[in-house]
Structure 1
Amino acid sequence: MTSTLAPARPAPAAPAARPSSDAEITVTSARKVFGSGDKAVVALEDVTATIPAGQFVCLLGPSGCGKSTLLNAIAGFSPLSEGQIRIGTRPVTEPGPDRGMVFQEYALFPWMTVEQNIRFGLDIKGVRRAEAEATVARIAATLGLSDFRARFPKDLSGGMRQRVAIARILALDPPVMLMDEPFGALDALTRRTLQDELLRIWAEYRKTIVFVTHSIEEAIYLADRILVMTYRPGRLKRDITVSLPRPRDSASAEFNALKRELGGLVMEEQQRYTKAEMSGTAVD
């Protein structure tokens, strides 16, 4: 059985909640090299950026520009070769409970129900059963999952599975959410519905969000800031503040002017990637 997504709700005009003071991300002179010697690949080079607590930032660029590499370094999955990343005042040396990761693949446990998947991290932390169940009920209601708590992932659509993945992170309440193309595999209607859901959740919980995407329109629709990255080695090409009011109209002149500007920046790097691919040196 496949579930039906609820109609999209407009994203709020402005976030009302207060962000955690420990959720600022500072990246300083980040460099990441894979391999060594003649086979060394420089994925990131001299990346420096500060993401204030509560800000929604998109990393944008073509394949091979280091977006996911930078996200994995912030998550603590892949340590930098040089430089430093801090969450608040704490250096990132490994994964931690202050960061939650949402992947493009849903990464749900197929033998667990929706409720059990959402509660999994709380159970691992040893949260009391009554408290965990109350948290699951609240998060499930926030994401429109209340009627699906007894279902298994196989019974859900792709959009609903991604809601469960997001709910599992929200249940742990990390101040930072890291999202690696979480809506990339979804159809356009479901994608827009979940974009609006994510903006609503961001406004309510006021997380710091770093969101990787290939989609220029998605980046403009979601982000406070867009960090455009160069093709390998990944550097920051442009840091663009998106000042358009929310909810954003993708048909507006302002939206499309920014879309054209970003399209030109990304196309330059895409052409570099294409040339590298034709010469056999491209690396995703």
Structure 2
Amino acid sequence: MLSSVNSAAHAVGNINPASDADVHIHVKQVDKVFGKRGAEVVALKGIDLDIRQGEFVCLLGPSGCGKSTLLNAMAGFSLPSAGKLEVDGKPVSGPGPDRGMVFQEYALFPWMTVERNVAFGLEIRGEPPAQIDGTVSMLLDLLGLKEFRKRFPKDLSGGMRQRVAIARVLALDPPIMLMDEPFGALDALTRRSLQDELLRIWKQMNKTIVFVTHSIEEAVYLGSRVVVLTYRPGTIKQDLPIDLPYPRDSNAPEFNVIKKNLATLVHAEHERFANDERGGLTLD
């Protein structure tokens, strides 16, 4: 079975080392340990990963493999215990305006209208009101929300709330978008609609996106690369470029060959997770 996985990796291409000028996010020998001595949990171990400007990289693996832990380290929310993590050659020491985070839970202010939620970061930054209004109007139009600008989050569907959350991040125009299972709680049709919206935004606005998902199909549908993590401690099991043109057909034979081989990798780690789950602490 291992030979078939290696063949699939070869079929979709090999990762070539990025030049220093191309690297947007540089991760070198990163470890993350939680807990105190004697009760430590190693969430990440020896992570090496270079992400180029404009890539769409999906982090894939079972619960407990450290996908969200790695994303939070990139965001500056929870820094590595060891190793190097840089954005544009500068060490990550905390959150910054060059990295925008989109969460699964939407994280909207319920007392603010859609337009106020989107404008919030710009207001905090002290942008002129006319510029804020122009940016908000452009993004609401881009994401199909202009008819809902005066509504409150409670009046919106889950898909619309996530569009607002994405618009709020885009308003600050970060070159990097970090997305932690943003579509995980949505129904299949809404999820596919937002996946297509995200791909359109990625191409149109030339963002670098790092996207955490449990869904193998979602990873193949979205990613220009899929990075598969092992179960705890999280290490990189496979880093596969997905050399399929956009838009992608999830029923195409080529799509399903890649999906099948990624499933083999992920399911092996899921078995390790299932065997360990009885007495373990899950960190994702």
Q: Which residue pairs with 2:4 in the alignment?
A: none
- TM, length-normalised to structure 1: 0.91
Alignment map for 1:138-157 (pairs within 5 Å): 138-157=138-157
How far 1:22 sits from its partner (Å)? Answer: 8.8
Q: Any idea what the Cα deviations from partners look like across 1:17-50, whole Å, max 9, x if unmatched? A: xxxx897111011000001222100000000110
Partner Cα distance (2:211, 2:23) in 1: 15
Task: Answer yes or no: is 1:266 the counterpart of 2:266.
Answer: yes
Q: Which residue pairs with 1:283 in the alignment?
A: 282
Identity %: 62
Q: Which residue pairs with 1:70 in the alignment?
A: 70
Partner Cα distance (1:195, 1:103) in 2: 15
Task: Answer yes or no: is 1:172 the counterpart of 2:172.
Answer: yes
- The residue identity in structure 1 corresponding to 2:280 is T
Aligned length in residues: 263
Asked if the contact 2:23/2:50 (under 8 Å) is kept, the reply is no
- The alignment partner of 2:141 has SS state of helix
Q: Which residue pairs with 1:181 in the alignment?
A: 181
- The alignment partner of 2:220 has SS state of helix
Asked if the contact 1:179/1:211 (under 8 Å) is kept, the reply is yes
Alignment map for 1:92-171 (pairs within 5 Å): 92-171=92-171
Asked if the contact 1:118/1:164 (under 8 Å) is kept, the reply is yes
- The alignment partner of 1:47 has SS state of strand
Give the alignment's Cα RMSD to 1 decimal. Answer: 1.0
Alignment map for 1:225-240 (pairs within 5 Å): 225-240=225-240
How far 1:84 sits from its partner (Å)? Answer: 1.3
Q: Which residue pairs with 2:89 in the alignment?
A: 89
Q: Any idea what the Cα deviations from partners look like across 1:81-115, whole Å, max 9, x if unmatched? A: 00111111211000000000000001000000000
Asked if the contact 1:23/1:208 (under 8 Å) is kept, the reply is no
How far 1:281 sits from its partner (Å)? Answer: 2.1
Asked if the contact 2:118/2:164 (under 8 Å) is kept, the reply is yes
Structure 1 pair 152–22 and aligned structure 2 pair: CA distance change class (3 A): farther
Partner Cα distance (1:241, 1:282) in 2: 32
Structure 1 pair 265–101 and aligned structure 2 pair: CA distance change class (3 A): same
- TM, length-normalised to structure 2: 0.91
Question: Which 4+ runs in 1 deviate beyond 3 A?
Answer: none
- The alignment partner of 1:200 has SS state of helix
Unaligned 5+ segments in structure 1 are: 1-20
- The alignment partner of 1:123 has SS state of helix
